[in-house]
């Protein structure tokens, strides 16, 4: 079965993440989509969309708000969600760490300190022994983006800019993945991680060192069941671009045709190129775990979706790449990290000033039809 789905992440849509490292630093947090309150409506949206899978994450800071303290109550929310999804024949794909972590964990050094990996293992062990009916797991979302943005660019908590810390965190994230991997059953669980792949075509030599580091990351990793690829755009970096390397690199493209509201270039062919590269390297199943566009007025999303879905269609016909799923990012508008709620990725709009009401965008119906008619 091919997975047709949508993705979300806990901190970006849930209220009450009061113990997360992001909330204390995020002035716009209060405007979360209140997903926990509207969960039944959101499940209804999934059901009507015709998806057969839904990727979401568990909020580590809710389950493990203090060191050595693990709470069952917040886990019940996820268990009920999972049970409901299964009732509607929607396969849950559960991610264990999507950028947000308990504030206490960050305060003791987070993944900067190898000793702290123990805490992550304890949290995952708690989830594994108390959550049932999940077969598909993502250990971490985009450890490459997390390490790069938080420890090299310094624009995400804990806002550090140090090549050495970046390298140490990358190494510890890899160790953390390797160590928690043994908590999963080889026969019953399907385990992967997701990585963000920008299609750096042309002369993007600036990124070669990072690509090398990432090769090291994976070369010693246990063989996973799948790799999740998050693909948004292509960009050919040149020396001139070094001048613009700062927090808002893409802002200068905002408003141009064929670019998203965040200035990200739209390039469906890049999706093929990154998947091809990824499959050549890992030779395991790939899921497109995120692909989407910030498009407040929904004028470009339909085109974006249809072009990227055509690439998916061709890959499935061609059968060279073992692609087993596609997830649009995102079901709902949400908190786009340091940008707050301005970028709108949702197939469904969240009316923040109207009691967080959900308003279906036209592109939702396009994806719904695509899934209904898909046949290969
Ligand atoms: C992240 C999401 C984010 C999306 C759009 C991905 O890199 O996993 O959390 O919202 O990109 O920026």
Atom of ligand 1 lying closest to residue 194 CA: 8
Q: How far apart are the first and last CA of the chain?
A: 12
On whether the CB atoms of residues 192 and 138 are closer than 8 A, the answer is yes
Tell me whether residue 344 is exposed, middle or buried, using C-beta atoms within 10 angstroms of its C-beta: 0 to 12, 13 to 18, 19 or more.
Answer: buried
- pLDDT at position 221 is 77
Give Cα 45 distance to the centre of its chain: 20
- pLDDT at position 213 is 80
On whether the CB atoms of residues 34 and 77 are closer than 8 A, the answer is no
- pLDDT at position 348 is 98
Contacts of 317 (CB under 8 A, 6+ apart): 376
On whether the CB atoms of residues 184 and 191 are closer than 8 A, the answer is yes
Interval between CA 348 and ligand 1 midpoint (Å):
16
Q: Which run of H or of E encompasses 312?
A: helix 301-318
Measured by CA distance, the residue closest to atom 3 of ligand 1 is 336
The list of the chain residues with pLDDT below 70 reads 25-30, 202-204, 247
Summarised one tens digit per residue, pLDDT across range 267-279 is 999 999 999 999 9
- 206/284 Cα distance (integer angstroms): 28
- 137/348 Cα distance (integer angstroms): 25
* CB 21 near ligand 1, within 6 Å: no
* CB 57 near ligand 1, within 6 Å: no
- 99/210 Cα distance (integer angstroms): 19
Burial pattern 186-203, b for ≥16 Cβ within 10 A else e, equals: eeeebbbbbbbbbbbeee
Tell me whether residue 97 is exposed, middle or buried, using C-beta atoms within 10 angstroms of its C-beta: 0 to 12, 13 to 18, 19 or more.
Answer: buried
- 341/127 Cα distance (integer angstroms): 30
Atom of ligand 1 lying closest to residue 9 CA: 9
User: Which mutation among 329, 333, 346, 347 tests ligand 1's pocket best, with the greatest number of atoms within 8 A of CB?
Assistant: 329
Atom of ligand 1 lying closest to residue 334 CA: 10
Interval between CA 338 and ligand 1 midpoint (Å):
11
Burial pattern 44-82, b for ≥16 Cβ within 10 A else e, equals: ebbeebbbbbbbbbbbbbbbbbeeeebeeebbebbeebb
* CB 9 near ligand 1, within 6 Å: yes
Atom of ligand 1 lying closest to residue 145 CA: 7
Interval between CA 339 and ligand 1 midpoint (Å):
11
- 293/262 Cα distance (integer angstroms): 9
- 114/129 Cα distance (integer angstroms): 24
In degrees, rounded to 5, the angle at the alpha carbon of residue 318 between the alpha carbons of residues 316 and 320 is: 95
DSSP letter for each residue of 136-151: EEEEEE-HHHHHHHHH
* CB 290 near ligand 1, within 6 Å: yes
- pLDDT at position 203 is 60
* CB 261 near ligand 1, within 6 Å: no
Whole-Å CA distances, 119 to 55, 70, 79, 95: 24, 11, 22, 17
Summarised one tens digit per residue, pLDDT across range 181-214 is 999 999 999 999 999 998 887 666 777 777 778 7
- 255/271 Cα distance (integer angstroms): 23
User: Which mutation among 13, 57, 230 tests ligand 1's pocket best, with the greatest number of atoms within 8 A of CB?
Assistant: 230
What's the sign of the alpha-carbon dihedral 142, 143, 149, 152?
negative
On whether the CB atoms of residues 371 and 49 are closer than 8 A, the answer is yes
On whether the CB atoms of residues 365 and 305 are closer than 8 A, the answer is no
Atom of ligand 1 lying closest to residue 292 CA: 5
Tell me whether residue 170 is exposed, middle or buried, using C-beta atoms within 10 angstroms of its C-beta: 0 to 12, 13 to 18, 19 or more.
Answer: buried
- pLDDT at position 62 is 98
Interval between CA 345 and ligand 1 midpoint (Å):
10
């Amino acid at each position: 079965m091919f997975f047709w789905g949508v993705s979300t992440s806990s901190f970006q849509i849930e209220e009450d993440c009061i113990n997360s490292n992001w909330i204390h630093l995020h002035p716009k947090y209060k405007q979360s989509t209140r997903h926990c309150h509207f969960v039944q409506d959101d499940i209804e949206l999934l059901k009507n969309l015709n998806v057969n899978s839904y990727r979401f994450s568990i909020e580590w800071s809710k389950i493990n708000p203090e060191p050595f303290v693990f709470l069952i109550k917040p886990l019940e929310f996820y268990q009920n969600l999972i049970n409901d999804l299964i009732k509607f024949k929607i396969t849950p794909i559960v991610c264990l760490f999507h950028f947000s972590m308990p504030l206490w964990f960050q305060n003791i050094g987070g993944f900067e300190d190898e000793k702290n990996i123990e805490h992550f293992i304890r949290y995952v062990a708690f989830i594994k022994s108390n959550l049932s009916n999940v077969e598909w797991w993502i250990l971490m979302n985009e450890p490459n983006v997390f390490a790069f943005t938080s420890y090299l660019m310094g624009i995400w908590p804990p806002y550090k800019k140090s090549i050495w810390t970046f390298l140490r965190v990358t190494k510890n994230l890899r160790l953390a993945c390797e160590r928690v991997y043994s908590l999963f059953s080889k026969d019953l669980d399907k385990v992967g991680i997701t990585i963000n792949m920008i299609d750096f075509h042309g002369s993007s030599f600036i990124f070669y060192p990072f690509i090398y580091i990432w090769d090291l990351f994976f070369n010693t990793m246990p063989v996973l069941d799948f790799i999740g690829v998050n693909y948004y755009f292509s960009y050919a970096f040149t020396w001139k671009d070094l001048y613009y390397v700062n927090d808002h690199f893409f802002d200068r493209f905002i408003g141009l045709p064929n670019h998203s509201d965040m200035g990200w270039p739209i390039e469906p062919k890049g999706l093929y190129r990154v998947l091809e590269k990824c499959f050549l390297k890992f030779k395991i199943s790939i899921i497109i775990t995120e692909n989407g566009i910030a498009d407040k007025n929904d004028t470009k999303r339909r085109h974006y979706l249809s072009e990227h879905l055509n690439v998916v269609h061709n890959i499935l016909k061609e059968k060279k790449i073992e692609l087993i799923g596609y997830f649009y990012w995102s079901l709902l508008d949400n908190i786009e990290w340091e940008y707050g709620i301005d970028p709108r990725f949702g197939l469904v709009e969240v009316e923040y000033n109207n009691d967080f009401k959900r308003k279906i965008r036209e592109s939702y119906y396009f994806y719904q039809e695509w899934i209904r008619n898909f046949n290969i």
